[in-house]
Amino acid sequence: MKKVCIFLIVMKLSGSNMDLQLQNQNRVLDLLHKQKEEKYIQEQLQYPDKYQNNPQDEIKEFEDNKEYIFKNISVQSKHKISKVVLEISKSYENRPLKKQDIFELIKKTSEYYIRRGFTTTLVTIKSGNIKTGELILEVKLGYINSINIKNSKYSKIRIFDAFPIKKGDILDIYALDQGLENLNNGGYSYHMQVEPSQKIGYSDIVLSEKKISGGINLGLNNSSTIDKGALRSILGFTQYDLFGINDILSLTYMERFIHDRNKNKESIYSGMYSIPFKYWKFSYSWSYTDSYANIKAQYADYTNKSQNFRQNLRIQRVLHRNKNSKTTLYTESKMRGQKNQVNNLLIEINSKNYTAIGAGIEHVNKLFGGNLYLDIEYLRGVPIFGGQGDRKDSIFKAEYNKVNFNASWQKYFYYSPYVALIYRLNVGASYSNDELFYADKFFIGDQYTVRGFKESSLALDKGGYIANTIILKPIYFQGSVWNIEPFFGLDYGGGRDYGLNYNDQIAGVAFGANYFWKIISFGVTISKPLFYSIDMPKESIPVYFNLNISI
């Protein structure tokens, strides 16, 4: 009889308290994912500026009044000559050339190899014959003699794992840059020098390292809703180069300062492990939410326990990279599950596992003088690895199709030795023709999308947002105790939940500041909704803050 009563109470509560608790868990996990994504995008936006302070030396021009005409200009090399180089040389045939024109030809062909990353490759004049009208250019390729890390115990292992290039290969600066990026993944800050080798035509790659020790991160934020306590504490641990192969292990524990802690609890555990291998990168991340809440009914109190678990396995492959751009292809599998109990009685309708697989492409580049990041991904819900398939008695699709899009563009509109003005545009969108479960929907209305909303957000089957931010960066105070970056933002977003008979739209404005000094980072954002969606609870002035201390 008791189980029947509990069951009836559960059926009544599942549409209110329990669903609200599950929704809050999914919102928190979504914010955690967005925080990591924001950090990753910011790192990627720095890529196009890698070589801005490393200009190539120009070939000097020499004046000479004498003119030469060459009927045939050929290029010799141990490797196949590019059509681009042949077209350049052909454009100088059968026309008067001064000495400076010949050096211009050498310069153009040399620049082709430099742009491709072959910075130690030289183009020279092998021979010329005025009578026969023939000029022969020679491409002297530069090779790698050795790659070494100074005073490193695991130098050979780490170099093999990180670099897609080896001794005897043609020196490609972008392949070396890929290796350097992989090495820095393991918690090191490397400086690379290309030095002439005793072997003619070869270079030695010498790497000096500065280890960044893994450490502990302490944090505090107000990412939770205010109903049971907005504050959340963070304890994080990061270990770089765990197995000596440029890998990273990161663990995080988050605890909500919840009201009436004897009857309510909410904890989040998350972790990430990544390892690069040449042009590849393998990452595994997981998050687990454990909570219980006291539910008051008419005749008694009941305890609702819920767990929410997510896993993500991601494989990335860099397809192309050069001075300003990088293109990466990736595939991933996402698994999520939840388990709900009331007085230790399992609620099966809310205790299911789901799986999705996806593929996408990322690209970073220069655009209109700024740095651009693009990411487009296709996701498909699939009934594998214990995941549920579609059910005939449910309007929600487990085997859904979904496309996600993310873009970020950042530009310095003003720069001086004292202050800089930065504009950053973030655009996000998602489209599905299916009615999705709540956890699979696209969320907007938070500090990472449309600011001005904290206690509630939009959960959409299709939608998008635009976030505009202007940042004042104090260049003169970088690294000092006065390093405060004020900002102003204006955001808009909207979309559709197929379960509703109307479209949603929201907009908000925000201002605040971020502070960085040594081991401390602190940010506060004061926001204001400009307009709400229908039936959305009103908020006056939502405030977000985040404090982190790295030790």
Quote the strand ranges of 395-473, DSSP E: 401-415, 420-431, 442-444, 458-460, 462-473
The sign of the torsion formed by the CA atoms of 131, 132, 133, 139 equals: negative
Assess if residue 18 is contained within a domain.
no
Assess if residue 365 is contained within a domain.
no
Whole-angstrom Cα Rg for the chain: 29
pLDDT for res 536: 85
Q: Do 86 and 185 reside in the same domain of the chain?
A: no
Q: Do 439 and 531 reside in the same domain of the chain?
A: yes
Q: Which domain holds residue 84?
A: 72-134
Q: Do 448 and 543 reside in the same domain of the chain?
A: yes
CB atoms within 10 A of CB 239: 16
Q: Determine the Cα–Cα distance for residues 244 and 294; give it in Å rounded to an integer.
A: 47
Mean pLDDT value across residues 75-82: 85
Spatial CB neighbours of 238, under 8 Å, sequence gap ≥ 6: 187, 214, 215, 217, 248, 249, 250, 251
Q: Determine the Cα–Cα distance for residues 387 and 439; give it in Å rounded to an integer.
A: 14
At 305-351, the pLDDT tens digits run 888 899 999 999 999 998 888 999 999 999 998 888 787 787 777 77
Q: Do 545 and 501 reside in the same domain of the chain?
A: yes
Q: Determine the Cα–Cα distance for residues 305 and 315; give it in Å rounded to an integer.
A: 34
Q: Do 156 and 118 reside in the same domain of the chain?
A: no
Assess if residue 506 is contained within a domain.
yes
Q: Do 422 and 523 reside in the same domain of the chain?
A: yes
Q: Do 507 and 405 reside in the same domain of the chain?
A: yes
Mean pLDDT value across residues 66-83: 84
Q: Do 505 and 549 reside in the same domain of the chain?
A: yes
Q: Do 160 and 124 reside in the same domain of the chain?
A: no
- Which of 182, 210, 238 delimits the end of a domain? 210
Provide the domain count of the chain.
Answer: 3
Q: How far apart are the first and last CA of the chain?
A: 56
pLDDT for res 65: 65
Assess if residue 198 is contained within a domain.
yes
Q: Over 50: is that where the pLDDT of 139 sits?
A: yes
pLDDT for res 343: 78
Residue 381 CB burial class (10 angstroms; 0-12, 13-18, ≥19): buried
Assess if residue 442 is contained within a domain.
yes
Q: Over 70: is that where the pLDDT of 22 sits?
A: no
Point out the least confidently predicted range of 54-68, 116-130, 167-181, 311-325: 54-68
Point out the least confidently predicted range of 45-59, 109-123, 499-513: 45-59
At 179-232, the pLDDT tens digits run 888 888 766 678 888 888 888 888 888 888 776 656 899 999 988 888 788 889
Q: Do 196 and 125 reside in the same domain of the chain?
A: no
Q: What is the mean pLDDT of the chain?
A: 85
- Which of 91, 108, 134 delimits the end of a domain? 134
- Which of 210, 237, 253 delimits the end of a domain? 210
Q: Do 471 and 545 reside in the same domain of the chain?
A: yes
Q: Over 50: is that where the pLDDT of 236 sits?
A: yes
